[in-house]
Amino acid sequence: MDTLHQLMHFIAGSPSPYHAVHSAAALLEQAGFARLEECAPWTLELGKGYYTTRNQSSLIAFRLPRETVTGWRMTAAHSDSPTFYIKGDVLEGDKRYLRLSAEGYGGMNCASWLDRPLTVAGRAVVKTAQGVESRLVYLDRDLLTIPSLAIHQQRDVNKGHDYNAQKDMQPLYGLADSPSLTQLVAEELQVSPEDILATDLTLCPRQQPVVLGPAGELFQAPRIDDLACAYATLEGFLTAQTMDSTGHIYCLFDNEEVGSGTRQGALSSFLPDVLSRIAHGMALDPQQVRQALAGSMLLSADNGHAVHPNFTEKADPANRVYPNGGVVVKLSANQKYTTTGLTAGLFKAICRQAGVPVQVFANRADEPGGSTLGNLLSQAVSIPMVDIGMAQLAMHSAVETAGSQDPAYMAQACTAFFQTQFVLTADGIYQFA
């Protein structure tokens, strides 16, 4: 259960993508990884570990092999979750109430956000004597809520409700004459309100991660999608040992929930830029670069839908996954997932050697699923990939539920993936060393 408790601590300390990257960076530095800035020159040494960030909300870490690299083992997860971005301090309306102006980010289950304590987290850009500086913000208190309309005033609400983001989902902040949100942020950062030039703030649920079930077989938390994979893949990355000629890369991208098409998203140049600078630092020629990529593989880690106990008919009859059933391998005929028979077979063989259970997920034929990191990232870096995740319930709700054993299964599978010696000897053929 140690992995689960570490994950719960990671989630609690990561109320925004900026905090998630900060949490991951802290774990990397504890493990001896050196920080690199994209705006500075890089000097790299074989056998050493490094990391860099972009926009404070995406991170790539890498461990160089002891010798010239012949292939990379990579994982990718995302730092963001569906939420609401704060657009302004005050939304016009009844003068006795103070509401924040908010806009939806990603596809969330709106009903799950109602009538629960919320706060804000993210970053603020502060004026300094030298220029401007971005600082993390988390108002660690029960600050606001989105109140639902009483059933007496909408008698048919239990028959379904079409939520209007502008009308139904604006958060109640306080009553007239309450201090503004900008004032609270300024107090938190110990600056004057005038020095706060801009913010990137989101709503976040106040519920802390908890263990559920008579034997603690489940856990519940906000942002399980995808911080559970973000942490478990990082634990696997940190646990793995340095290899002779295989390098390791851990990726944490922002903006997956809105299509990844940003400077810090999976569709960006972030990973290609890092790979290019590594190649330059290791003095690789173009043929060595292409050969290493051909011999590489990436695990795209994002969660999948467990069979719902109240809606079992929603699951594919032939591919049903459950909490604590092991790492989920995700398949899609329309290539929304990157998994192929070859990459799935190789990953299953690695997990079998490591004693990690694996289960297979596919959507019903009449319910197309959404895409994830892998098929977007492959447009930037074309290497073999397999989409994996954990089985979870209530995906994209304000609070989600998953199996307590699955984070450890994911971490163990990633450690085995990073440490297993396998070589692509010909197209369609992998051999274990």
Q: What confidence tens digit (pLDDT) does each residue in 167-191 have?
A: 999 999 988 888 999 999 999 999 9
CB 319 within 8 A of CB 360: yes
At which of 172, 205, 238 does a domain end?
Answer: 205
Residue 215 lies in a domain: no
**Phi/psi of residue 214, nearest 5 degrees:** -60, -30
Q: Are residues 8 and 144 in the same domain?
A: no
SS (H, E, C) 112-153: HHCCCCEEEEEEEEEECCCCEEEEEEECCCCCEECCCCCHHH
**pTM for the full predicted model:** 0.96
- pLDDT on residue 168: 94
| Phi, psi (degrees; rounded to nearest 5) at 318 | -100, -15
Give the residue from 176, 205, 234 where a domain finishes: 205
Judge whether 27 lies within some domain: yes
Q: What pLDDT is stored for residue 386 in this prediction?
A: 96
> pLDDT per residue over 231-256, tens digit each?
999 999 999 999 999 999 999 999 99
Please count the structural domains in the chain.
2
Q: Is the domain of 154 the same as that of 237?
A: no
At 201, the pLDDT band (50, 70, 90 cuts) reads: very high
Give the Cα separation of 53 and 70 in Å (integer). Answer: 25
φ/ψ of residue 286, rounded to 5: -55, -35
- What is the chain's mean pLDDT, rounded? 95
Compute CA distances 113 → 61, 395, 396, whole Å.
34, 13, 10
pLDDT in tens, 123-172: 999 999 999 999 999 999 999 999 999 999 989 989 888 999 999 999 99
Q: Residue 50's pLDDT band (boundaries 50, 70, 90)?
A: very high
In a domain, 7, yes or no: yes
CA diameter of the chain: 71
Domain that holds residue 359: 2-81+222-432
Q: What's 140's domain CATH number?
A: 2.30.250.10
